[in-house]
Amino acid sequence: MQRLAMDLRMLSRELSLYLEHQVRVGFFGSGVGLSLILGFSVAYACYYLSSIAKKPQLVTGGESFSRFLQNHCPVVTETYYPTVWCWESRGQTLLRPFITSKPSVQYRNELIKTADGGQISLDWFDNCNSKCYMDATTRPTVLLLPGLTGTSKESYILHMIHLSEELGYRCVVFNNRGVAGENLLTPRTYCCANTEDLETVIHHVHRLYPSAPFLAAGVSMGGMLLLNYLGKIGPKTPLKAAATFSVGWNTFACSESLEKPLNWLLFNYYLTTCLQSSVNKHRHMFVKQIDMDHVMKAKSIREFDKRFTSVMFGYQTIDDYYTDASPNRRLKSVGIPVLCLNSVDDVFSPSHAIPIETARQNPNVALVLTSYGGHIGFLEGIWPRQSTYMDRVFKQFVQAMVEHGHELSSM
């Protein structure tokens, strides 16, 4: 609120200077133009403050988790002020990768082997200069899972690492097979229904630092994968807590929304070409089991999944795969504290598919639902380069779980 007020004061000051030096004669000099500008500005400000800027809806399955968040993660109860000139879902979604900064991060890469002979690329940010947690064996570790075709280079991942660095934590990014430049050793990629690679990574990291608090955060498809893992394994995980952002809760609903003409044009077709590019680089690994020419002719994510992903992971039909991939089915079985941030205007995850009633039945789950924010957008402020609402939720929640998580077990 204070930052928004400061931004608005700055904008008003700049507008006043502009009018003072530039608006001197003619139509504007008469005062009519100035009155129109001021009238429009006041009307827009009233509309924005009454209809756009709102507190998120906090849905929890237990009073203790709700109180914990209000005490230690207050951002989830504060009014979210979307960027005043770009609050619509598609605008936020499209603009975020271009307008937000990309903090510089130096990674240490590690390739680990899998049971089937494959390999997974992990990018570590060790934070050896941490002043809060100088002992590496107990330094909190945050596992980060990027989106559908994302890697450790995504701006939202870099921001999470920068915020974790401020807290003194260590981060490790789980790059899905074949997307981060490493060779594909077996004819297998990834999907959000199959959690075997994630289980391998979690156990590997925990073996390295068994005494360190261990958390995870997943974005978009990475969040779907994380929730499916947590729903399958319940409380028997080394993770202390988890957070997800812009998760697609029901894969059927997500696909249907993204196939609407405008959404297909803006998002679906582009993401389909990204998926095709990621598998075409390893084309020689798949030709014996998959018709790659048919895959490369797909015009939507659903067609790609039908021709490639569902075949790759042995599903009889695309419906079988989409049913298994939807995390709403497993939310009731999550056994550790999980915070899930979604915007109800996200075209990737329609609001009617968000499992509000299921969340209310699990004391470990908290949904934070904003009215605006788009898909991995959550831009705020006049010029949102350095931080987003999503970033602030991430930072406050992981810090709350590391420093005060013990309070939940005693509530």
Token pair for residue 66? Answer: 């709700």
Q: Are 127 and 165 a contacting pair, CB within 8 Å?
A: yes
Q: What is the DSSP string of 237-304?
A: SS-SEEEEES--S-HHHHHHHHTSHHHIIIIIHHHHHHHHHHHHTTGGGTTTTS-HHHHTT--SHHHH
Annotated catalytic, 375?
Answer: yes
Give 18-26's long-range contacts (Cβ < 8 A, gap of 24+).
none
What Å distances lie between residue 135 and 12, 32, 105, 271, 398, CA to CA? Answer: 49, 67, 21, 42, 19
Active-site annotation holder among 346, 349, 371, 387: 346
By CB atoms closer than 10 A (0-12, 13-18, 19+), residue 54 is middle
For 126-260, where are the alpha helices, taking DSSP H only? Answer: 155-167, 196-208, 221-233, 251-258
| 406 assigned to active site | no
The encoded tokens of residue 281 equal 């680089």
**208 alpha carbon, distance to own chain's centre:** 26
The 10 Å Cβ neighbour count of residue 44 is 13
Residue in 130, 152, 155, 220 annotated catalytic: 220
Structure tokens at 353: 């598919």
What is the rounded CA–CA span in Å between residue 26 and residue 72?
Answer: 56
> DSSP characters for 2-29?
HHHHHHHHHHHHHHHHHHHHH--SHHHH
8 Å CB contact between 280 and 273? no
Q: Using CB atoms within 10 A of its CB, is residue 71 exposed (0-12), middle (13-18) or buried (19+)?
A: exposed
Measured CA angle at 81 (ends 78, 83), to 5 deg? 155
Q: Say which of 246, 278, 375, 387 is annotated catalytic.
A: 375
Is 220 in the active site? yes
- For 372-396, the DSSP string reads S-TTTT--BSSS-SS--HHHHHHHH
In 3D space, the residue among 280, 265, 252 whose CA is nearest the CA of residue 352 turns out to be 252
Cα 345 from chain centre: 15
Residues with a catalytic annotation lie at 220, 346, 375
